[in-house]
């Protein structure tokens, strides 16, 4: 495996737009990166993982929800965050999963040390502040909904 020693390197993150009707699942972060901002579930791509596997693992670990292989790739953004208490650079892979609005999918806050809790937010009334990488997308006019 490549190892860059002590040099800072970009990392890959996989995050998920979990959509129910016009709502998206967000949680307020407790972290040295984007603390107190609203963000998607997700985390670091592990060695050997596919994007879909990472999305499913992170969803399960953070919310308890099972998405199987349903995640589809939406887009990728480059996020250099040198202003954060913990400087970082992420290539962020955004996935989408549409859940059945009728199904009772209740997310649990399984990592309360990292998140204040998960909730559904109407896309037209998103909470503030959004986490930087998400804010950048939303303000550019991006939306995650199927046409």
Distance CA 60, CA 97 (A): 13
Nearer to Mg ion, 34 or 43 (CB): 43
Identify each DSSP E strand in the chain by its residue range: 11-20, 23-29, 38-39, 42-44, 72-81, 88-98, 115-122
Q: Counting contacts by CB under 6 A, is residue 37 touching ligand 8DG?
A: no
Sign of the four-CA dihedral 134, 84, 71, 101: negative
On whether the CB atoms of residues 2 and 43 are closer than 8 A, the answer is no
Distance CA(85)–CA(100), nearest Å, equals: 38
User: Is 43 an interacting residue with respect to Mg ion (CB under 5 A)?
Assistant: yes
Instruction: Rule CB under 6 A: choose which of 33, 55, 59, 97 binds ligand 8DG.
Output: 33
Quick one: what does residue 17 bind among Mg ion, ligand 8DG, none, with the CB cut-off 5 to 8 Å set by partner type? none
Question: Interaction with Mg ion in 59-88: which residues (CB under 5 A)?
Answer: none
Closest to Mg ion by CB, 83 vs 113, is: 113
The contact set with ligand 8DG (CB under 6 A) reads 13, 15, 31, 33, 39-40, 42-44, 79, 90, 92, 114, 131, 133-134
């Amino acid at each position: 495996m490549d190892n860059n020693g002590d040099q800072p390197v970009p990392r890959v993150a996989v995050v998920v737009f979990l959509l129910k009707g016009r709502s998206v699942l967000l949680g307020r972060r407790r972290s040295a990166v984007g603390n107190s901002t609203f963000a998607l579930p997700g985390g670091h791509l592990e060695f050997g993982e596919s994007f879909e596997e990472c999305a499913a693992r992170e969803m399960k670990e953070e919310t308890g929800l099972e998405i199987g292989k349903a995640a589809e790739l939406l887009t990728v953004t480059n996020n250099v965050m040198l202003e954060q208490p913990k400087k970082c650079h992420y290539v962020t892979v955004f996935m989408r999963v549409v859940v059945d609005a009728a199904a009772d999918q209740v997310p649990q806050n399984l990592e309360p040390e990292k998140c204040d809790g998960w909730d559904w937010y109407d896309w037209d009334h998103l909470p503030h502040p959004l986490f930087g990488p998400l804010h950048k997308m939303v303000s550019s006019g991006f939306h995650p909904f199927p046409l």
